[in-house]
């Protein structure tokens, strides 16, 4: 039995220990904000926080998560009012929106560690998050706007 905390709620899992966290979140807990993109940790669509740090859920096996604290996009803020979520809406970042939960979770990790990131900090942190629609300039603008709101 694997016990972990997801979005503040203690959960138990007694299934296949090699199941990726992504499938546990989506299929077992119905937390579908975390997206399946590539399945090989290259696109960033499945990014969640584990122990407060961004991680790719498609590659994390349940057997490695005993006692872990996981936060998904649904748990970032109970009513969607995290400064990043607000900035994303105000700046109209999403086009198709598929990659945006992973983008926001990665950006939240960045702002936690660097409350006033430079363009280079943003580019480095967000590297490897693919947006097929090419909304990168709006993503950067939203991260900067959220940083201002937090200060």
Domains of the chain: 2-76 (3.10.20.30), 83-150 (1.10.150.120)
Report pLDDT digits (tens) over 76-119: 998 999 999 999 999 999 999 999 999 999 999 999 999 999 99
Rounded Cα–Cα distance for residues 65 and 12 (Å) = 11
Closest-CA residue to 34 (of 95, 82, 99, 86): 99
State the pTM of this model: 0.96
């Amino acid at each position: 039995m694997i016990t972990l905390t997801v979005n503040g709620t203690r959960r138990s899992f007694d299934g296949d220990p090699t199941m990726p966290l992504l499938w546990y979140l989506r299929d077992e807990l119905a937390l579908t904000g975390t997206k399946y993109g590539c399945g090989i940790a290259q696109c960033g669509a499945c990014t969640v926080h584990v122990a407060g740090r961004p991680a790719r859920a498609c590659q994390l096996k349940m057997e490695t998560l005993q006692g872990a604290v996981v936060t998904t996009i649904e748990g970032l803020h109970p009513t969607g009012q995290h400064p990043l979520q607000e900035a994303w809406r105000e700046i109209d970042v999403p086009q198709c929106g598929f990659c945006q939960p992973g983008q926001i979770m990665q950006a939240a990790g960045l702002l936690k560690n660097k409350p006033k990131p430079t363009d280079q900090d943003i580019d480095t942190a967000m590297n490897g998050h693919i947006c097929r629609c090419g909304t990168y300039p709006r993503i950067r603008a939203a991260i900067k706007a959220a940083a201002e709101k937090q200060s």
